[in-house]
Amino acid sequence: MKHPLMREIERQLIAHLRDGVARGAATLDRGFVYRFVFDDLDTQLDFAVEPDSVRVVSDAAPQAQARMSAMTLFRMLWILRNAPDVAQQLRAAGVVLEGERRLHEAIFVLAKGPLAHFVEALESADDRGAAAPRAWTLERLEHTDLELTRRAAERALREPAPLLISDFPAPWRGISYDELIARYGAARTWVTGEWVDVASFFAPDAAPEAPARSAISPHAALYAMGVVTPDALLADFRPPLFAERCAAPKLFAGCATGDEPWSLVVRPHRHAHDAIAWQVLGTKKWIISPPRSGPFLQPAAVGFDSQFCAVPDPESIDDETFRADCCTFTMQPGDVLVLPGGWYHTTYVRAEPTLSFSAFARDELLRLYA
C-alpha cells in the first residue's frame, strides 16, 4: 500500500509539474521519464513528461533521477499550492525562496542531468586516471593575481589535477565567529525537515536536537553537510572562481563534539562534476585520492551526480600503494580548492566552529575541452 504522504506528494508534485509544462516554464525534456528518490520513505516516484502534460508511470526506465527528502518536498509543495497567501508573506521575508529554489533546482537537474551523463563522466575520469602517471602531488598556489589564479584553475581542470589556492582575497576572508553570528546567525535554511538558524549549527548544547546529524561519527553530531545556502549569505559568499558557471553554493557548517583531533563527517565519495570549495571560518581536513584508488575504497553505484564508497574512512586502509596515492591537507580561511570530477575526497572537522561552501557546474562539467 502506498504511504499516505506519498499519495499527497504525488498529487501535488504532478499538479505543480503539469502547470509548469503547460505554461512552458518547466525545463523538463519531453518524452523523458524522471525519478524522484525519497530516502526517508525508502520509495520513489517516476513520472513521464508528455508534449503538454505530466503523468505518473510504473515499470519504466528513468533517464534521470534526483534525491530529496519526502517531508521537505511535501512541506514545500503544500505551502506553494495550498497557502498562496502565506507563501507570499514568507517569500517577502526571504523564507520560502529557499524551498522554491531547492525544488526548481532539483527539477532543473532532472532535466539537464541524465544518469548516463554522470556515469559517462565518472568512467571518463577513471580512464584518464588509469593512464596518468603513478606519482602525483597536490599543486599549491599562493594567490597573487586574479588572472594568474584563474588560469591555474583552468589548467587544473584540463589536466585534470586538484589545485589548492591560499590567501584568496575574497570579501569573506578573515571574518570572525562573532561577526559571522552577528551578521548571519538568524538566517534560516531548510535542514532535515525543519527551518534551522545558521547560529544553531555552532551550539554544542543543542546536540540532542542538532540539525543534519552525521550518521558516520558520533563526535560530529553538529555538522550540516551541503544544505541550501540562505539568501542572506549568497551575495557575500559567492564562488571565488567560475561564479558565472556554478550552481547555487552549498553550505557546510558546524563543529565536532568529541575530544579527538579530527572527527569524520562524510565518507569517501566523488562527483561527476568538477567542484570548487572555499573555507570561510575555522579549518577542515581533507583526504583526496585519484580515480584509480576506487578499488581500495569500494565505490557503490552512482546515485545522481555523486558516488559514495563502502569504506567509511580512508585512514582505515592499510595499504602502501593506496596511502602513496592519498594527499592529506587542512584548509584554512581564505583557501580555495579546485577539485576535478572523479577524484575521491573525505572531510573531517575539529571541535571548533567551521564554515565552508562548495559549488558544482550549473549545467555542464566545468572541464575545458577546447
Q: By percentage, how much of the chain surpasses pLDDT 90?
A: 26
pLDDT of residue 213: 43
Q: What is the largest CA-CA distance in the chain?
A: 62
ω into residue 208 within 30 of 0, thus cis? no
The band of 211, judged by pLDDT with boundaries at 50, 70 and 90, is very low
Q: For the segment 123-171, what is each residue's pLDDT rounded down to a tens digit?
A: 888 888 777 777 789 999 999 999 999 999 999 988 889 999 999 988 8
User: Which one-letter DSSP state was computed for residue 303?
Assistant: B
Where would I find the H helices in 185-297?
231-234, 294-297
The band of 11, judged by pLDDT with boundaries at 50, 70 and 90, is confident
Q: Would you call 299 exposed, middle or buried from its count of C-beta atoms within 10 A (0-12, 13-18, 19+)?
A: buried
Asked if the model's pLDDT at residue 206 lies above 70, the reply is: no
Residue range 311-340: average pLDDT? Answer: 94
Between 67 and 97, residue with greater pLDDT: 67
Asked if the model's pLDDT at residue 222 lies above 80, the reply is: no
* Sign of CA pseudo-dihedral 262, 265, 270, 271: negative
pLDDT of residue 198: 84
CATH class of 116-360: mainly beta
- Residue extents of the structural domains in the chain: 4-112, 116-360
- Among 50-64, 76-90, 196-210, 215-229, the range scoring the smallest mean pLDDT is 215-229
The band of 318, judged by pLDDT with boundaries at 50, 70 and 90, is very high
Gap between the Cα atoms of 287 and 313, Å rounded? 10
pLDDT of residue 360: 79
Q: By percentage, how much of the chain surpasses pLDDT 70?
A: 72
Torsions phi, psi for 165 (to 5 deg): -105, 130
Asked if the model's pLDDT at residue 327 lies above 80, the reply is: yes
Q: pTM for this structure?
A: 0.70
Asked if the model's pLDDT at residue 92 lies above 70, the reply is: no
- Among 216-220, 248-252, 257-261, 348-352, the range scoring the smallest mean pLDDT is 216-220
Q: Which residues contact 271 (CB under 8 A, 6 or more apart)?
A: 305, 306, 307, 341, 342, 360
Asked if the model's pLDDT at residue 215 lies above 50, the reply is: no
Q: How many residues does the chain have?
A: 370
The band of 112, judged by pLDDT with boundaries at 50, 70 and 90, is low
183 grid coordinates: 551578521
pLDDT of residue 230: 80
